[in-house]
Structure 1
């Protein structure tokens, strides 16, 4: 089933402490962003990749992705939500759209397929994995409650939506001056159900130096 993916790539990645856009850091022979975009470039069901970038970084990114095609570049915003809104504005279709973190380069193609099908059926679906650790709710450094982890999920991307639903949620957030942590949150606040597709723990986000070390292991295992 065909889809378009929107990738916000205009963040700063300050927690990585690299002194530059973390997406330019290499795992193996290529930058993180190269690996992420390649996932969708190699998927015959992906119709278009819409990439939100900083204007001053676009030339560098185009050089990194010179082997790739069918990419539409848009100017990213100060917040992730602004970058996704710019991607939404650039989309010309009416089908299923995915939003994916640029710093998640180890996505499983089977998860993409499951998300697209679920979003087509229900309107909205997100990738997530089950919480493995015991979770405590605490206030002022004191445990108040042990939370039932059977009901808890760690949310990842992609997040998949029917285009009209994502646009409606994004437009409403802009109108309300509401800033959400992810696209699912924007859809949830309108009262729509969001389905979960169980993902893989390999789909880790490259956030810290430790994550890069994990990325090297994952890349070697895939090879």
Structure 2
């Protein structure tokens, strides 16, 4: 079986209050994106790594790799207008059959165990989505301006990698983009596929706000 990893790095620095795209921000002395690629490179299944990156950032990424002596082999692919289009570009670069994991570049603390479990479960079930239960209470915002309580027992928080049979995900991504397509699971579900959930990891955080980077630094220090 052949395994692939499509790492999507289309983020800007807006919510991080930074002029540097968040995938390039430093964590433990090197860009977040390098930690993410290293995590997949450690997987014993040896996935082929495809990095989907804004075309205007390709040369900058090459410079960073030179500066940090980063030599893990990976293919760099042109990003799209939305995450949906970037993933589609990454899938288009896969020519064979197999299992593909799609992962956010700014989740640098994903463990080798979660990556391996994701591949194995997707190989058996056709897809696999990691998730964790929410710890906060939640409310739904209604159209009339009011709100109502939701039961935490009916909710789960979705992470990446989201892992699929290559043919299944390629076919799902043939539909036109819709605003409700926020991840790969929503695209596959729209195409009629049941989604299978596995236990994710609390430390597999997505770096979105400045405090997230501080939290990731603590997790990284403890892991080291």
* Alignment TM-score > 0.5, same fold: yes
CA deviation after TM superposition for structure 1 residue 2, in Å: 5.0
Check if 1:34 corresponds to 2:34.
yes
Task: Report the secondary structure of 1:157's partner residue.
Answer: coil
> Aligned residue pairs: how many?
219
Q: Superposition RMSD on alpha carbons, in Å?
A: 1.6
Check if 1:220 corresponds to 2:224.
no
Corresponding residue of 1:111: 114
Within 2, Cα distance between the matches of 1:220 and 1:11? 25
Check if 1:168 corresponds to 2:171.
yes
Structure 1: which 4+ aligned runs deviate by more than 6 Å?
none
Range with bigger deviation, 85-94 or 9-18: 9-18
Within 2, Cα distance between the matches of 1:64 and 1:42? 21
Corresponding residue of 1:48: 48
Check if 1:25 corresponds to 2:28.
no
Change (3 A) 1:148 1:129: same
Within 1, Cα distance between the matches of 2:215 and 2:145? 31
Gaps of 5+ in 1: none
The CA deviation string for residues 51-71 of structure 1, in whole angstroms up to 9 with x for no partner, is 111222112212334523331
CA deviation after TM superposition for structure 1 residue 188, in Å: 0.4
Change (3 A) 1:135 1:83: same
CA deviation after TM superposition for structure 1 residue 158, in Å: 0.3
Query: TM-score w.r.t. structure 2 length?
Result: 0.92
Corresponding residue of 1:198: 199
Answer whether contact 2:33 2:108 (CA < 8 A) is retained.
Answer: yes
Corresponding residue of 1:60: 60
CA deviation after TM superposition for structure 1 residue 45, in Å: 1.1
Query: TM-score w.r.t. structure 1 length?
Result: 0.92
CA deviation after TM superposition for structure 1 residue 11, in Å: 2.6
Within 2, Cα distance between the matches of 1:89 and 1:37? 20
Question: Larger % of strand: which?
Answer: 1
Corresponding residue of 1:96: 99
Check if 1:132 corresponds to 2:142.
no
CA deviation after TM superposition for structure 1 residue 200, in Å: 0.8
Within 2, Cα distance between the matches of 1:47 and 1:215? 25
Range with bigger deviation, 161-170 or 15-24: 15-24
Corresponding residue of 2:124: 121
Answer whether contact 1:34 1:64 (CA < 8 A) is retained.
Answer: no
Answer whether contact 1:111 1:197 (CA < 8 A) is retained.
Answer: no
Answer whether contact 1:5 1:46 (CA < 8 A) is retained.
Answer: no
CA deviation after TM superposition for structure 1 residue 46, in Å: 2.7
Within 1, Cα distance between the matches of 2:46 and 2:4? 6
Answer whether contact 1:41 1:68 (CA < 8 A) is retained.
Answer: no
Range with bigger deviation, 132-141 or 81-90: 132-141
CA deviation after TM superposition for structure 1 residue 141, in Å: 5.1
Within 2, Cα distance between the matches of 1:92 and 1:62? 25
Within 2, Cα distance between the matches of 1:132 and 1:22? 26
Change (3 A) 1:137 1:54: closer
Select 2:156's aligned residue among 153, 156, 159: 153
